[in-house]
Amino acid sequence: MSYRVQGKKSPVREYFGRGKTGEQTAKIRAAELNLSKTKGETLGRTSTDIYLDELAQVYLDDAKRRGVSEYWRKEFTALLNTTILPALSSRPVDQISFADIVRMADGWGKSVATTNRYLGYLRAVFRFGLDQDITTVNPLRKWRKAKETTKRDFRLTMEDFERIRAKAMPHLAIAMEIELMTWARPGPTELFKLHKRDIDPEAKTIRIRGTKTPTSDRLMHLDGDEVCRLLEITSLSKSGYLIEYAGAPVKQIARSWAAAVEAAGITYHVTPYDIRHLGISEALRAGADLAAVSQMAGHADISTTQRKYYHCLKGEKARAATLKAKAARPKAGKVVNFPR
C-alpha cells in the first residue's frame, strides 16, 4: 500500500507480503492511517527517516546510471518487492538489525547458494547507503557467505542428452542443441537472448550477451558445420531469435524439459544447466586448453573453471608426468659410482 506524507515528494510504500495474512495486515494498517489522519497526527514515516524501499530505489537509479543491465535491475526489483521489502520496510534502515535479516532469510526456504546471492545483493544496497552518506549503519557489515556443503552431481551423458532431445518438443530440441554448441547459460540471461544478429558467419563466431560476470559477454567460436546449422535455424525464425515457440521468443522451458526427461526415462535429477556443464566437460576431456575453455564459458576467473571441472582434468597429472623433462640416461655399460 502507499500513501503521501508531507515533506516527501514520492508516496510512501509499505509492504505486508502476499496471501490472506498480508491482505489482513494491510487493511489493519490502512485503518490505523485513516484514524491518524482523522486525529490530525503525522502519517507514518517522518521526513528524516530513510526506509529500505527508498534507499533501494536510489541504488537502482544509480545502477541504471552506471550502465548495469536492464535484466539485472528488473530481477533485483522483483526480488525486493516480493522477498525483501515485505520483511524489512516497517522501520528505518538505521533500525534494521542483523537479527531481522536472519529471521527473514530463514523464512525463504532457499538453497545456501541462493540465500548467499540474495544477501549479497542486500549488502550492496546497505554499503551504497553508507558510501553516499544516506544511512549510518550496515547490518550486514560482518556477514560472510555460508559455506556450500553440497555439490551438484552432474550425471548427464551424451547418450542421455540424445535420449532427451529425441523426446523433446521442437523448440526445446533446438534450445538443447544450441546450448551444447555455445555453452550459453540456459534461461533469459543468455540462451534465450541469442539472436540471428549475434552470428558472424565470416568470423565463425556467435556473441553470447551475458550479464552474470564482467566477462560473460563473449564470443563463442564455431566450426563450419555449426555455423551452417545456426544459419539453418535462423532461416526458419520469425522473430529473429534462435529459440522461439509459435513465432515468439521463448521465455521458459521448464515444463517441456520435465516432460521430455520423463518421456526419455531419465530417473536421476537433471536440469537444462547440465547441458552447458556437459559441453564444457566434453571439451576439456578432449584436451581443450583450460584458459580458452574458461574464456568461452564466460567464467570470471580461470580458477572457477579449474575448480568446477577438475574431474575432467584428473588424467592430466598422469599425462604431465610423461611430458616432464628428463636428464639423459648414462650410456649402456657405463657404471656410475656414488661416493660413500
CATH number at residue 232: 1.10.443.10
Residue type, 262: E
Q: Would residue 146 count as lying in a domain?
A: no
Q: Would residue 118 count as lying in a domain?
A: yes
Do 251 and 292 lie in one domain? The reply is yes
Q: Would residue 150 count as lying in a domain?
A: no
pLDDT digits (tens, 9 = 90+) for 257-269: 999 999 999 999 9
Cα–Cα distance for residue pair 192/170, rounded to 1 Å: 15
Beta bridge partners of 217: none
How many structural domains is the chain composed of? 3
pLDDT digits (tens, 9 = 90+) for 122-180: 999 999 999 999 999 999 999 999 887 656 678 999 999 999 999 999 999 999 999 99
C-alpha cell at 46: 517522518
User: pTM of the prediction?
Assistant: 0.64
Do 102 and 192 lie in one domain? The reply is no
Backbone angles phi, psi at 92, to 5 degrees: -60, 155
Do 176 and 294 lie in one domain? The reply is yes
Do 22 and 84 lie in one domain? The reply is no
Segment 295-310 mean pLDDT: 86
For residue 244, give its domain range.
158-314
Q: Would residue 46 count as lying in a domain?
A: no
Do 208 and 241 lie in one domain? The reply is yes
Q: Would residue 295 count as lying in a domain?
A: yes
b/e sequence 213-252, b meaning 16+ C-beta within 10 Å: eeebebebebeeebbebbeebbeebeeebbbbbeeebbee
Cα–Cα distance for residue pair 200/180, rounded to 1 Å: 18
Q: Is 336's pLDDT higher than 80?
A: no
Do 290 and 164 lie in one domain? The reply is yes
Q: Would residue 44 count as lying in a domain?
A: no
pLDDT digits (tens, 9 = 90+) for 219-261: 999 999 999 999 999 999 999 999 999 999 999 999 999 999 9
Q: Map grid coordinates 616432464 to a residue.
A: 324
The confidence score (pLDDT) of residue 9 equals: 54
Do 115 and 201 lie in one domain? The reply is no
Do 180 and 287 lie in one domain? The reply is yes
Do 32 and 77 lie in one domain? The reply is no
